[in-house]
Amino acid sequence: MSSISINSKNIKSNSIFIGIKGKKYDGNKFAEEAINNGAILAITNKKKYRNSKIIFNKDPFKFFNKISTNYRKALNANTIAITGSAGKTSVKELAGFCLNKLEKTYYSKRSLNNKFGVPLSINDAPQISKFLVLEVGMDKKGEINYLTKLIRPNLGLITNISYAHIKNFKSLNQIAKAKSEIINNIIYNGTMIVNMDDKYYKYFIDKSKKRGLKYFTFSKNKHNADISFLNQSKYKNMNLFKINIKGIIKSFLIPNELSSYKENILACLSIMVNYFDVKKLKKNLFLDFCIPKSRGSLINYKKNSKKLTIIDESYNSNPLSLKFALKRFNSISAETSKKFLLIGNMLELGKHSKKLHIKIAKYINEVKVNKTYVFGNYAKHTFNKLKPQIKGKILKNHMDIYKLINKDLPNNSVLMVKGSNSTGLNKIIQ
């Protein structure tokens, strides 16, 4: 099958361009450009073109989804769909990496989790794939249902439930209900993986039972889960995790930079053991994994004689993902004891914005940090509730951020940056 492109400027070899109207651009207007850039066909809802390679279709987006649905049916792959308020991209990356060590696995290297990204990811999967790992996002009711109808997952996983995108919902219960739409579309005799450390786990299990699905649980704290974390210890320059997998104790070597991602490791193993004998999972399963860019990845920053370690968590932020990031940051022991935070706005929280930004100050106050700097109007509410000894400054613009990094922070410091994408922090850090 030819690949599908929806961006006329980035045409892949032997690809079909489909004109889709987005928020900023109408792709239907760029059919000719797509052909000029190497597309073998272009689908558009504009009738003005007189080129045999440009084909009219009244609804290209509907056509796009139909192609994706048919290709998904033709794939002889176990399809895994991952959703949740925090961690879905990281779990997708980790699961895709580990599965690929054992069988041919396709997973998108970007966060393609919306109505455009999911069909693209399906169509990009090679036909020889044994596993297809997809993430599914949402910002309103019905989106998970719509996307998972396209995916028809063999296995589904919900990482957790938090206030992400709460602006479009009245309560956390509504978010949990919307995320649980994934359960509606898991294929007959499929499996649902549930995080027992999440407050909604019983709701997800009950809904899975009603659909006649198998379910599998994991937990950092509860030893009655199918997979539970036991302990960790130092091993050479790494960590050794002991994990109980249905009564079998397994040890895994975990790189230091991955050691604070216990939830992701347990979620990944929950997927793995649904397809492979526990004995096949080797001790070095997680070695060589690279944390996804801007989701806890490290940047060794150097300018002139100035050196900093930046923990880049700037891809996005919500109360739960920020709480997880703070826990990870707190587990880092900086030799120089020079640890700093730069916190930006958490967006899409609607009427809950002020309350949740105030609440997050409690978690920052528990972290071992020299100073905390904030950027954005909502983050000011966080700043006002910080302990006086850890208050840095309220940064007003991008130049203040450049000045903080290049001048104000002491040499050999560790700085964690966390904020929602639209704050612009991610672009600055890159």
The string of pLDDT tens digits covering residues 99-112 is 999 999 999 877 88
Write down the pLDDT at residue 334: 56
For 10-68, write each residue's pLDDT tens digit.
Answer: 898 889 999 999 888 899 999 999 999 999 999 999 988 889 999 999 999 999 999 99
Q: How much is the pLDDT for 305? A: 87
pLDDT class of 333 with cuts at 50, 70, 90: low
Q: For the segment 251-264, what is each residue's pLDDT rounded down to a tens digit? A: 999 998 899 899 99
pLDDT digits (tens, 9 = 90+) for 219-247: 999 999 999 999 999 998 899 999 999 99
- Nearest CA to 198 out of 256, 139, 266 is that of 266
State the chain's mean pLDDT as an integer: 93
Token duo for residue 271 = 């997927």
Kindly state the average pLDDT of the residues 297-326.
Answer: 91
Model confidence band, residue 331 (pLDDT cutoffs 50, 70, 90): confident
Please state, in angstroms and rounded to a whole number, the distance separating the CA atoms of residues 236 and 284.
14
Tell me the mean pLDDT in the region 419-424. 87
Buried/exposed code over 175-196 (b: 16+ C-beta within 10 A; e: otherwise): bbbbbbbbbebbeeebbbbbbb
Mean pLDDT across 67-92: 95
Distance CA 298, CA 19 (A): 37
3-state SS class at 189: coil
Which is more confident, 341 or 428? 341
The H or E element spanning position 245 is strand 238-245
AA identity, residue 365: N
pLDDT at 25: 86
Mean pLDDT of 333-348: 83
pLDDT score at 292: 87
